[in-house]
Amino acid sequence: MNAVVARLVVQRLGIMLISLLIVAFAVFFATEMLPGDVAQILLGQSATPQAVAALRTAMHLDQPAILRFVYWLGGLVSGDLGRSYANNMDVAALISGRLTNSLQLAGVTTLFSVPIALCLGITAAMFRGSLYDRIVSIVTVSVISIPEFMVATVAVLVFAVYLRWLPALSIADQVHGIGELLRIYAMPVITLSFVVSAQMIRMTRAAVIDTLNTPYVEMALLKGASRRRMVLSHALPNALGPIANAVALSLSYLLGGVIIVETIFNYPGVAKLMVDAVSTRDLPLIQSCAMIFCVCYLLLILIADVIAIISNPRLRNR
């Protein structure tokens, strides 16, 4: 690490904060534009106009939107996510448990899918044009084209209904021991891995093949290097940047985009929480969930950028 790398990282952090502010603005006003009056909905059809007006004042709904945005932003910064409209609980408390669940699922999927995807991508590039490469390519294309609810449904049918090896629902709070944990996570993790790995395999393969076509890899070949050496020692270090970005993009899906998987396996994660919040018009909850997804996404991109910067010797050593 030197001054140049540090400066670049600080720059990225600055850009990240600006993006967050813009997203916060967009999220707040997009939820504002949802039709209907929250106070009216909360109190129901039979509420008196006075009661509705009183609730509106209590919820600051009578103040201009921009002012409420500033209040909300101040709350976010000081860690106060607000109170849920629907069940009058702290949003932070509602989310924290769900977020742990989601992160657990994402973490297990990452540990499982990233090594497999990288191995498959790199070996496919190594043996480009071979039967192995073609099989990997065909399988990844098919997996990309099959929607995940299809994979999940078939998995439930096969493993839970016919074979009865795995539970159909994944309820993480009643876990005793590692075996049971594996059993519960098996099906959601497999389904999610299918979805995220396909992209990673293809991008890794493309990135490695790109660097395999460079003169310095040909030079290594003419020095007598084996194929393994050419790929692992010459091509891969220079393909790290694009690979890190592909992995980050795929993994960002694990938090926000898993709603279908969470629904099918009845898994209590953040995505499901957010969809429930939309149906109950629970604005603070929706806004907080959106912000969390955004932070996770930006963090992943930041990590990928830092890896790309560090793996570039031109930036590392001046």
Tell me which residues touch another protein (CB under 8 A): 214-226, 229, 233-234, 237-238, 311-314, 317-318
Tokens of 199: 């992209």
Residue owning tokens 């657990």? 104
- Shortest Å distance, C-beta 9 to another protein: 19
Q: How far apart are CB 309 and another protein at their closest, in Å?
A: 13
In the complex with another protein, which residue's Cβ is closer, 40 or 311?
A: 311
Smallest distance, Å, CB 211 to another protein?
9
Read off the tokens for 25: 């603005």
121 vs 198: CA distance, rounded Å: 9
Q: How far apart, in Å, are the Cα atoms of 210 and each of 113, 141, 142, 207, 292? A: 23, 20, 23, 5, 35
CA–CA distance, 317 with 153 (Å, rounded to integer): 51
Task: Note whether 165 and 159 are within 8 A (CB).
Answer: yes
Q: How many other β-carbons are positioned within 10 Å of the β-carbon of residue 147?
A: 11
**Nearest residue (CB) to another protein, 40 versus 312:** 312
Which secondary-structure segment (H or E) carries 282?
Answer: none
Nearer to another protein, 64 or 215 (CB): 215
**Of 71 and 216, which has the nearer Cβ to another protein?**
216
Measured N-to-C along each axis, helices 148-155 and 178-212 cross at an angle, to the nearest 10 degrees, of: 140
Min dist CB 129 to another protein, Å, is 10
Minimum Å distance from CB 141 to another protein?
23
CB of 93 to another protein, least distance (A): 48
Dist. CA 142–CA 87, nearest whole Å: 43
Contacts of 271 (CB under 8 A, 6+ apart): 102, 255, 256, 257, 258, 259, 262, 289
Nearest to 148 by CA among 194, 112, 197, 102: 194
Nearer to another protein, 93 or 219 (CB): 219
Residue 92: how many CA atoms within 13 Å on its side-chain side?
8
The residue among 118 and 271 lying less far from another protein, judged by its C-beta, is: 118
- For the CB of residue 16, give the shortest distance to another protein in the complex, in Å: 24
Cβ of residue 138: shortest distance to another protein, in angstroms? Answer: 23
Nearer to another protein, 164 or 314 (CB): 314
Tell me whether residue 103 or residue 221 sits nearer to another protein (CB atom): 221
